[in-house]
Structure 1
Amino acid sequence: MHIALKMSCASVSATSMLRPISGNMMAAAQQHRKKRSLAIRKTDAMNHAERQNGTVLDQIWMQGDPSSFLNLSTSENQTKSENHQNLAVIEEDENLNYLEKDPLIEKNDGNKTLNIKLKQKPEEEKENERISKQTCEFREEENSVVLRLNIGGVPFFVLVEALLHADPSTFLTKFVQLSHRAKLKVADAFLLPERAYYFQRSPLAFEAVFQYYANGVVHKPPELCPSAFSAELEFWRVPTSYIGACCSDSVSPLERLLESSKEDKVDDTSFEKLRFGQFRRRMWTFLERPGSSMQVFELSSTMFVMISVLGLSFGTIPDFQVIEYVSSGNQTIMLPNGTEIIQEDIEPIRIEHPIFVFTERVCIAFFTIEYLLRLFAAPRKLRFVLKPLNLVDLLAIMPFYLELMLTLMGVDDKKLRDLRWAFLVVRILRVLRVIRIIKLGRFSSGLQTFGMTLQRSQKQLQMMTIVLLTGVVFFSTMIYFLEKDEKGSPFTSIPAAYWWCIVTMTTVGYGDVVPATTMGKIIASAAIMSGVLVLALPITIIVDNFIKVAQEEQQTEQFKAELLAMEEQERQLQQEQEQRRLKFNQSQKEILINNREENRGNNEDNQLISGKQPLIFVSNA
């Protein structure tokens, strides 16, 4: 049987040797010889049909081996990479291995098992020695201030300081913190003459990534396809939130949704290193993701906002106010007999009903506790404070505490009339309470759509504002010099004519101020036509942006539902795989235990048989 197999193998090899050499084979051999002549060291990532640089990078970071980092991060757990498990014995427990034959049971095959292990270790040692040689040669460049890269044949030099100050989730920010030996496993190759790490990616797309590390903004090159550009950003792990406003159209709603989900995952992982991480993680999920809390928090927050706004509104109705008598000063009265009497002047004023004051304080207490809980649970405090919606939450409670500070400083209602600045500040603070209505934007998709429309229409709004202000100054100056000499003219100055010009150019026309001269009426007609042109042109673009944003919101909701379904399906598959793995491990344990028990029984039987075997003596008789 063995002879037949050898003959068949020999025949196959002979036929392959007698095959004629084609031109493609010659070209492939020359190409292979050229590759071998390059002074590069190919890494394990080149063995994959699909490049998994990011996967290898994540594995190294998850392992947390101190030898894989450059004194820039702490070690956590030390595990073996899945791509480098070359040993023949796969052990999950200390006393368990999954060989087809147990070396403890099969004594005859014990040497073979040891030979398998000894054959694998020298190959791993050779690989480590080869990497160590590369590491020793590159040790002088370890403290370099720049990271040398070669992207698709184009060299790039990026400052290490710029990489460390960038978003910590980006590919290169993690890559630069690795040791040279770990970088060799992540990169596609290492070019010895250039001392650069090679990645076979698009150099044109990497220029946008380089701009991000240089100035913090990503701009899409016009030569690139949007999908290819998005793929490169995904590989280098640059968030789409850093894309400039001029290039925001190149990002699809699905990519924005995936980016937001990645940010949520980053926030989830960042809780592991914080104090009370699990508790803060649950609190953050409850407060920042209302859908996960059965919309209880969303409804309660909306209810308090509405109660606060309604209380502020109804508190100004005279029928719901109470009269309070306040001293407005003292008056000295001289009687006919020469006696002086000091009389206190009491002035009745209307104030809010105490029930509205109590309601206001309850709402302020709720908003304060809500904001402090959000701030406590936030994994990134500065990022949390600078978010627009969180700034609105802060502005909603600031007026109450500033007014309370004025009261503690002794500036009460009686002294407000004497201190005009304090009276003005208190009035402004009370007006700012209406900002709480904007808090509804956190839970209202309509307000969010409107805000995104204004954000996308920044250029059109800026153009409209500049042109409108130019027209206001121009026509106000014209109308002032034409109408100032008329008797009883309301145009007493150029700033006084601004109101008339704004009302005229916006085609509102209150009629409280009108020109009297013929030339003034001609200027007013020109202002009206200019206002129509200035306002009509940008509005069409703004409406178009609103339609696009509304359509993207619908697509995002659809993508979100599909993404949740995919995550649920993936979770179920992982659970099934885990159950299969546990069942397999349990079955293997039972098989090994049974084999060991049978082996012990056979050994005991053999010992008993060998011990009781009778001795045969041959007599000379």
Structure 2
Amino acid sequence: MWTVPKPRYRSDASAEEEEVTVNIGGVRVVLFGDVLMRYPESRLAELATCSTQNSELISSLCDDFDPSRNEFYFDRDPDAFKCIVDVYYFDEIHIKNGICPICFVKEMEFWKIDQSVLDECCKSYLSEKEEELTEIANKVKVILEDMDVDRCVTRTQRCQRFMWRLMEKPDSSLPARIVAIASFLSILVSAVVMCVSTIPELQVTNVEGKQVENPTLEGIETACMLWFTAEFALRLASSPNKLRFVLSFMNIIDFMAIMPFYVVLSLTCLGTSSMMELVNVQQAVQALRIMRIARIFKLARHSSGLQTLTYALKRSLKELGLLLMYMGVGIFVFSALAYTMEQSHPETLFRSIPQSFWWAIITMTTVGYGDIYPKTTLGKCNAAVSFLCGVIAIALPIHPIINNFVVFYNKQKVLETAAKHEVELMELKSSREGQKVKKQQEQIVFYTGKKGL
């Protein structure tokens, strides 16, 4: 048993002796009526004002009532109730460690306490947990949609859902895993071919005497692009939401990786020779060929690690912004100092402050190409301070970024496990209900047959 301390101020003498005794999960608590009336719409305030003779009202407010001891019984969590009582004294509530915030919100709803009294730190913690529950619900929805392939109404819908799982869910079946591996290998082969085709020894000379790509490598690249095209078309055709598919960032990258191939092919095969001799057209073709590097980003579709790294960088935008701001200020200051200190040397390499930006960048990032370097003593001291500041600036945000990566990665693993556990519980519940219905049907058949005899 524990008793909430009496407040230092009292509203009146009659309320001072008014006590409300409640039993919360086996813990007996003595409260004072005038304190409870600070929130008159709460359940405890209603208990303090209700008459003990009104059994119907008391039964609606508590689980049980002992008239001999004038004690109200509640089958609730006593630890959560200790946090609830704080609102009557401090006008705010803090969620203690070890208490589920979602369950605590339900406790607040039971005791008729508004969520606005939660402290700001607890509100942010609660919103984070609600986001996690939303993510779990979305993952459960995706898993249930994958399990309902056979429940589709028409044959076309079943084929569409099967193709979507085949192209988008590598863990759904063995053929889907084979398709994912084939797509992954195609991306690697295409990237290797793009790099190898630039080696002069492997290039061939055409009729006009110009170096062009090897026909064998062009054939391999064409086969990879045909695979990418077929994969993109099948995914688009089987997508349940075409608009969301088209606006997805990764799908835009896939389209950008495919589109240059067909544009270049149309310019080279359908365009006239006079048109291809134009400088602007040649530059456009070269730019489109360079855009082929976008296909390497397709690896992120098949790598959960790259996806986690991308999300971690998004969550670390504040730290990265501080790093860029610090580096920008340092580059401006040290380049201006270097330009000023090196003007006394006759063979100075610092011709202007904007030109000195390049030196400051490669110095603060500890690259140091050596194409521009100070020659005076003060300039060398300035360079030493600049790369020391650069090392400190780069090292500071590393820990928060790594911590965000680890936290997000572990969080995703926990959410996936929770979603699978939720699906297993739903299946177990449905199987138990099915067994219960089957047992009831067997009993009906048994009693019906016995009655017929």
Shared fold (TM-score greater than 0.5)?
A: yes
| TM-aligned CA distance change 1:427 to 1:528, over 3 Å | same
Larger helix percent:
2
Larger radius of gyration: 1
Q: Which residue of 1 aligns with 2:160?
A: 280
CA apart distance, 1:266: 7.0
Give 3-state SS (helix, strand or coil) of 1:292's partner. Answer: coil
- How many Å separate the matches in 2 of 1:537 and 1:555? 29
CA apart distance, 1:511: 0.9
Q: Which residue of 2 aligns with 1:320?
A: 202
| TM-aligned CA distance change 1:272 to 1:554, over 3 Å | closer
- Count of aligned pairs: 356
- How many Å separate the matches in 2 of 1:435 and 1:394? 9
- How many Å separate the matches in 1 of 2:147 and 2:438? 26
Is the contact made by 1:290 and 1:298 (CA closer than 8 Å) also made in structure 2? yes
- How many Å separate the matches in 1 of 2:168 and 2:315? 25
Q: Which residue of 1 aligns with 2:255?
A: 394
Give 3-state SS (helix, strand or coil) of 2:223's partner. Answer: helix
1:291 and 2:202 matched: no
- How many Å separate the matches in 2 of 1:364 and 1:206? 59
Q: Any idea what the Cα deviations from partners look like across 1:526-558, whole Å, max 9, x if unmatched? A: 321221222111112112222323433443454
Q: Which residue of 1 aligns with 2:65?
A: none
CA apart distance, 1:399: 1.9
- How many Å separate the matches in 2 of 1:203 and 1:591? 58
Q: Which residue of 2 aligns with 1:78?
A: none
Gaps of 5+ in 2: 1-49, 62-74, 76-108
1:307 and 2:189 matched: yes
Q: Which residue of 1 aligns with 2:377?
A: 518
Give 3-state SS (helix, strand or coil) of 1:502's partner. Answer: helix
- How many Å separate the matches in 1 of 2:302 and 2:116? 37
Q: Which residue of 2 aligns with 1:495?
A: 354
Name which of 407, 429, 438 aligns with 1:548. Answer: 407
TM alignment of 1:198-237, pairs within 5 A: 203-204=114-115, 222-224=121-123, 226=125, 229=127, 233=130
Give 3-state SS (helix, strand or coil) of 2:370's partner. Answer: coil
Q: Any idea what the Cα deviations from partners look like across 1:401-429, whole Å, max 9, x if unmatched? A: 332343367376x866641x433333332
Q: Any idea what the Cα deviations from partners look like across 1:166-220, whole Å, max 9, x if unmatched? A: xxxxxxxxxxxxxxxxxxxxxxxxxxxxxxxx9998753799xxxxxxxxxxxx9
1:407 and 2:268 matched: yes
Gaps of 5+ in 1: 1-22, 35-48, 50-197, 208-219, 234-239, 241-250, 327-347, 599-621
| TM-aligned CA distance change 1:459 to 1:285, over 3 Å | same
| TM-aligned CA distance change 1:587 to 1:441, over 3 Å | farther
Letter in 2 for 1:552: K
Give 3-state SS (helix, strand or coil) of 2:374's partner. Answer: coil
Q: Any idea what the Cα deviations from partners look like across 1:9-36, whole Å, max 9, x if unmatched? A: xxxxxxxxxxxxxx963255567999xx
TM alignment of 1:434-473, pairs within 5 A: 434-473=293-332
Letter in 2 for 1:318: P
CA apart distance, 1:358: 1.5
TM alignment of 1:563-582, pairs within 5 A: 563=422, 565-566=424-425, 569-570=428-429, 572-573=431-432, 576-577=435-436, 579-580=438-439
Is the contact made by 1:476 and 1:494 (CA closer than 8 Å) also made in structure 2? yes
Is the contact made by 2:260 and 2:291 (CA closer than 8 Å) also made in structure 1? yes
1:370 and 2:231 matched: yes
CA apart distance, 1:509: 1.0
TM-score between the two structures when normalised by the length of structure 2: 0.65
Letter in 2 for 1:204: Q
TM-score between the two structures when normalised by the length of structure 1: 0.49
| TM-aligned CA distance change 1:300 to 1:586, over 3 Å | farther
| TM-aligned CA distance change 1:585 to 1:315, over 3 Å | farther
How large is the RMSD of aligned CA atoms in angstroms? 4.1
